[in-house]
Structures are given as C-alpha cells and as structure tokens.
Chain A
Amino acid sequence: MDKTSQAGNSVELSWKKKQNVSRRDVLKTGSAVVAGAAIGINAITGFPTIWAQNIKNITLRQFGTGVSNINAIAKRAKQDLGITLQMTALDTDSTAQRVVTQPRSFDIADIEYFTLKKVWGSGNMQPMDIRKLKYYDKIVGTFKNGKLTPTSKIAQGTAPHTVSFVENPTDRKFAKGETNWYTMVPTIYNADTLGIRPDLIKRPINSWTELLNPEFKGKASILNIASIGIMDAAMVCEAMGEVQYGDKGNMTQVEIDKTMAIFTEAKQAGQFRAFWKTFDESVNLMASGEVVIQSMWSPAITKVRSMGIPCIYQPLKEGYRSWGGGLGLSRNLAGLELDAAYEYINWYLSGWVGGLLMRQGYYSAAPETSKLYMSDDEWGFWFEGKAAKNDIVNPFGQKMEPAGAKRDGGSFYERMGKVECWNSVMDENRYMVRKWNEFIAS
C-alpha cells in the first residue's frame, strides 16, 4: 500500500469508528495532501473573495475524527485567512467525550451528526446565526429539511436536519423545523452500501437480501461495529420482509431481538466467513476472495480495485445507509475568536475544501461552490456520475479510476437521493450492544 492511499484510507476509517487513529496517520495525511494541494493551487487562478483582515493571528483549536482534519486545510486556511488552526484527531467515541467533559479545550468541534445528538444536551456548544453564514443558501436540502430534492423521502435514523436547528441560542432541545440557529455546518458525508466481487458472483445483485442468500454461504461478511452493523442487518431484514421497523435508526427491543435472531440463525448456518472491524480487514477479505459480498466503505472498494481486482459498490433497490459530519462551535467562543470561527466556516464552504473532499469520493455540503475547484472531468465523474474522460486522480496524486470508468451508483442525486437510513444513536443503545455481543459470541 503506498503512502498516499494509506493516508486517505486511514482518514475514511477514523471517521467511521477507528479506535486507533494516531497523530502520525493524520500527519502523514497532512503531508500527502500538501503535495496534492500544491499542484491544485497552481491550477486555480484568481481567488476573488477578500477575507477579513482583523482576524489574523488568531488561533482556533479544532478537533475531529481525522477525515476532514487534514493539515492541508489548516495550511490553506493560514494562507487565505491568516488564522492558525490547531487540529487534534480523535476517534469517534472520544469526540463525544471531549465535547461533554472538556468544553474549554476546543473552539471548533468536527463531529458526526449522531454524536451531535448525544452531546448537544450538555450545553457545551453554541448554534450559529445563519445570517452570518455566507453560503447557507448553497447547502443542500438534506441538511435543512431532510429533502435533497423537493420530492425526496426523509430518511430514518439520525437524519442531519433533525438535529440541525434550535429555536433559541441557549436551547438544549432541537427545533422541529428550520430556524435562524444552526447547530452544525455540514462538511462531509457519503452513502454506504454492499460491496461485491462481480467476477465471483457472476450475476446481478440488486437487493440487501443477497447478504443472507444461501448461495453465498461461507462467503459473506458484515462489519462488527455494533452501531453501524445493526443498521446494515436491519436493511437486510427489512428487505427480506422478515421485520417491519418503525425507525431502523431507533429500534425497539423487540425489533433488535428479531433482527439479531435472523442474523444469529444465519451465522450458525455458516453464512459468514468472517466479521471485519477495520478498513484493512475489509479490503483483505474481499481481495483474497474469502468473501464475495459484504458491508463495505467506499474507499475500501477503491483500494480493492486499485489492486486490479474487480469490485463494485453495488447500488441496491432498498437504498443506502448514510453518514455525515460537520463543524460546530464551542459555547466558550466569543468576540474576535467567534468572528474568526464564522470566517473560517464561511471559507470552508467557499469551495476549496469541498473540492479537496469531493476528489476523494466524499460529498461537500455546498457542492456548487466546490465545482470551481474541480476539473469538468472530475466534476462529471464524482458528482454527475458521467464516464471519466481521463484517468481520475485523487488530491494525493493517486490514480483512482481509469478513463471511461463511471462511479458506482451514479450521480450525487441518484446516490444521496436514495438514502434509506442515517447512522444513529438509539434509545436502546445499551440493550443493542448487549445483543450484538451475544450475536458475536453465538
């Protein structure tokens, strides 16, 4: 594995749940990005916005899960805004602890929406005034009313819009609809589905039910991270018609029991070859042919393909399971620092960062602005789902796809428009974890 892909991968992984993201990974990412960014900067001429001058020399302390905690962003922010960003990388669980237990240790929290749901009640964060958010209009509907397009269905789980607004700046409860106070500005998100080996399956796959199809006995896998794994399991059970859920992102004990019973039965019948917990495990299982169908993350698919092994991120008729994160402000931010934070967030949405993220296969909250920082071919491939005219290269200089390739699942609207459920935190979390442990031990 070369350095750049490793950096990119560890980034995706740490975002999700990786427990052992090290500072070194992040530093590596940083240096790799800097190299890519240097090329990018030259390609772009003219940066029209003049950013405020009085915020120079201000330092903002940001922590996050690594995926968007990229040193190149800090470097570019210093260049464009003059502010210094101190970035700290933590795993997903630690980000929640940090907000709750050490509110004075950060200015900006880069966290996932389901984490936000857990920690907002602590009162340690403050919402943003949307009148000060320059690019608020450009943010996609998913993060405002839950609808990507006016006709979209609202997804289950911790859908970002359900935790995005409060009525008053000091409220600890989320508002029902859109208000003037935005809890978090979205930065990065994606849609997850099953990965398959088309060369070993040799027939079309179009439903989540295939994960438990006896045809793939001993050749299937699911990820062993309870909070995400249970949701993939629910997607399967619902597709099979075995369980009807009120909300897959917030199951009742009965629903959890039914789901786990179906999966335990499948496990005992030998359906699963292995369970994976880390990014690399999922890549190895797929690349070695031990597994031909499994839950997977987008960059892992790219990694398998880059080894010359066919692998598809298969769109399924029941839809995707999605995840997303954003930037929130500490309650302690005030005065010039607060102004600087707004300035930073406005800059974040102005396009350069979005381009950096989109060229890795993630989505930016304000895609339109990112377009300026991507070539037409890159935009066509990543966002519009068109066939690539040339080789698609990520910001770290690594080839992602050859000319002629199309993104699995198609365009942004085709993919994000079919989100069935968001990563979430359930009320029955403790119970779910216990049942998941039983499932693993069974």
Chain B
Amino acid sequence: MNRYNPVVIIAQVSPISAILGLFLIVPIATILIVSFWDYNEFMLLPDFVWTNYSDTLGSYVTYKIYLNTFKYTILTWFFTLVIGFPVAYFLCFHVKTLRWQIVLFLICTIPFWTSNIIRMISWIPFLGRNGVFNSMLLNIGLIGEPLEFLLFSDFAIVLAFVHLYTLFMVVPIFNSMMRIDRTVMEAAFDAGANGWQMLTNVVIPLCKPGIAIGSIFVVTLVMGDYITVRLMGGGLRASVGVMMSNEISLLLYPPAAANAVVLLAVVLILVSLMMRVVDLKKEL
C-alpha cells in the first residue's frame, strides 16, 4: 500500500488529534467560554459579559499577585539554573563512564519516587519553629531564638520550588551537553582556550537549547503552581494559582476562568520570548 495514501495518513494522525482535541482543545475552549459567563451564588449563567475580565484586570490585587508570582518564578529559575548547570556539567564531563552517569542520574531522581506534596510537606517539620534545623542551630549555640523566617515565608516557598524543579533543569541541559561534539572542545583546547573560555565560548552556547527547555519547564511549572505557595507560605502568601483556587472553592468559576485565560496568555508570551532567545527548531 502506498505510504502517502491519504486514508493511511488520516488514520495515523487521528489518534493524537483525538487525544489533543479531547484533552487540550476542548478544556481550554470551555475555560475560554466560561470566562465570559455570568454567575450567582450557586449557578453559572451562560452570557457574554466582560465583568470577569474587568474585575480581574481592574484590581490592584491582581497586579500585586502577578508581581509576587514573577518574583517566585525569577528566583526559582535563577537558583535551578545555578544549581542545575553545574550538576549537568559534572555528570556530563567529569563522570567518565556511562555506568556511573546512569547511577548518579538515578540518584538525582530518587526524590521523584515520592509525591511532590510529600516532598514539600517534609520541609515543614524540618524548618518549623521547633523544627529540626532550628533545634540544631539552638543546640550548637549559633542562635538564641528560633529563626521564624524559615517556614511560612517567601524563603520557604522558593526553597521548595528549587528542590522540586531543579531536575527539570538538569535533564535538558545534560541532554544538550551530551550532544556536544567532543572534537569541538578539543579544537578549542588546541586553539589555546582555557577552561573558562571553553565554558563561555563553547559549552554554554551549545547548551542554549537545553537551558531554554529547562527554563520553559521551570517557568511554566512555577507560574501555574498553587499548592507549594499555599503549603510553604502557610496560606499567608498568594500566587496566581492560589487566587484561582480560592475563587474555585467559592464557586466563582467565571472569574477563575478569566484568570486562567489571562495566566495562559502571560505564560505563552513568556515562552515565546524564551523561544526568541533560542531558536529551538533550528537547534534541535
């Protein structure tokens, strides 16, 4: 049978189209539609109103919360990159055998064998006022009073994010590094480049796609998160996700949907900006 037979092509494409249509297009379309609906205490009223958007975009709280979310995103992105890049570099260039690379990689994934909520919650007894860390510092006499900022604070939130998402940075960067042609590095070395020049002129430019993919992972995950902010922030801090979850729990679906649409637009803009910096299609 002809491989280019249209029937065959349609048959081959239809499963993925059906899955994407059903689980991506339909839900997003529903959110978009509901974001224009009106509502009362207990019902959604099909309508076409702009109030959900004007309430969301007209409130200073929204901007404050977005600012807060950006703060978490930038800090998390920075720390995951600063930690993730050296880890990937070590795994790729310092670990010589494939076996040890695999072993060390598996060790990196061990935290992922438990649910990310468990990983997050386990910080709470560690960082608490009477927690392990504070007790330790008190015992060795480094501090006289427990450090309160450790838990239920921005510090705790960013710490948990970095802990949760660093691997998402490590994996794509590692992948890019593995594709670097070692002869290019040898050529650089022969041309007299020192270690630092090798890193900045050869490795980092060639890792750009990995860094971009890792950044997209981290940025989208942090922008859409609500549970980390709620648990580690002790409910005192807000992110866009927390705002939406508050609205949903109070049955305010249309404003929550409008919020979701705004967030989607913001994240898409962020991702397209990152794609501008690195032409992923070309690089892959």
Which A positions have Cβ atoms within 8 angstroms of B? 17, 19, 93, 96-97, 100-101, 118-119, 218, 224-227, 267, 272-277, 281, 284, 288-290, 425, 429-430, 433-434, 436-438, 440-442
Instruction: Please tell me if the beta carbons of B234 and A93 are within 8 angstroms of each other in the complex.
Output: no
Instruction: Please tell me if the beta carbons of B235 and A100 are within 8 angstroms of each other in the complex.
Output: no
Map CB proximity to A onto B105-133 as digits: 1 under 8 Å, 0 otherwise: 00000000000000000001100111000
Instruction: Please tell me if the beta carbons of B148 and A433 are within 8 angstroms of each other in the complex.
Output: no
Instruction: Please tell me if the beta carbons of A274 and B152 are within 8 angstroms of each other in the complex.
Output: yes
Instruction: Please tell me if the beta carbons of B41 and A429 are within 8 angstroms of each other in the complex.
Output: yes
Instruction: Please tell me if the beta carbons of A434 and B59 are within 8 angstroms of each other in the complex.
Output: yes
Residue B65 CB within 8 A of the other chain: yes
The winner among A218, A272, A430 for most chain B CB atoms within 10 A is A430
Known: A19-B249, A96-B41, A226-B250. A440 touches B130 (CB 8 A): no
The 22 sampled A-B contact pairs (Cβ below 8 Å) are A17-B249, A93-B250, A96-B41, A97-B42, A97-B43, A118-B41, A274-B152, A275-B235, A277-B230, A281-B235, A284-B124, A288-B125, A289-B130, A290-B128, A425-B41, A429-B41, A433-B246, A437-B238, A437-B246, A440-B236, A440-B242, A440-B246
Q: How many angstroms from the CA of A433 to the CA of B236 in the assembled complex?
A: 16
Instruction: Please tell me if the beta carbons of B64 and A441 are within 8 angstroms of each other in the complex.
Output: yes
Identify which of A226, A274, A284 contacts B235 (C-beta below 8 A).
A274
Residue B204 CB within 8 A of the other chain: no
Q: How many angstroms from the CA of A438 to the CA of B68 in the assembled complex?
A: 13
Within 8 A of A (CB), among B51-103: 55, 59, 61, 64-65, 68
Known: A97-B43, A226-B250, A441-B65. A290 touches B129 (CB 8 A): yes
CB distance from B93 to the nearest CB of A (A): 44
A425 cross-chain contacts in B, Cβ below 8 A: 41
Instruction: Please tell me if the beta carbons of B234 and A275 are within 8 angstroms of each other in the complex.
Output: yes
The winner among A218, A289, A440 for most chain B CB atoms within 10 A is A440
Known: A19-B249, A289-B130, A440-B246. A272 touches B236 (CB 8 A): yes
B252 cross-chain contacts in A, Cβ below 8 A: 430, 433
Instruction: Please tell me if the beta carbons of B235 and A277 are within 8 angstroms of each other in the complex.
Output: yes
B151 cross-chain contacts in A, Cβ below 8 A: 290
Residue B251 CB within 8 A of the other chain: yes
Question: Whose C-beta in chain B lies nearest to the C-beta of A425?
Answer: B41
Q: How many angstroms from the CA of A100 to the CA of B45 in the assembled complex?
A: 13
The winner among A101, A274, A436, A442 for most chain B CB atoms within 10 A is A274
Residue B243 CB within 8 A of the other chain: yes
Query: Can you add 10 more A-B contacts, CB < 8 Å, to A288-B128, A440-B242?
Result: A93-B250, A96-B41, A97-B42, A118-B41, A227-B250, A275-B236, A277-B235, A288-B129, A434-B61, A438-B61
Known: A288-B130, A290-B129, A440-B242. A224 touches B64 (CB 8 A): no
Q: How many angstroms from the CA of A157 to the CA of B252 in the assembled complex?
A: 22
CB distance from A436 to the nearest CB of B (A): 8
Within 8 A of A (CB), among B147-163: 148, 151-152
The winner among A96, A267, A275, A442 for most chain B CB atoms within 10 A is A275
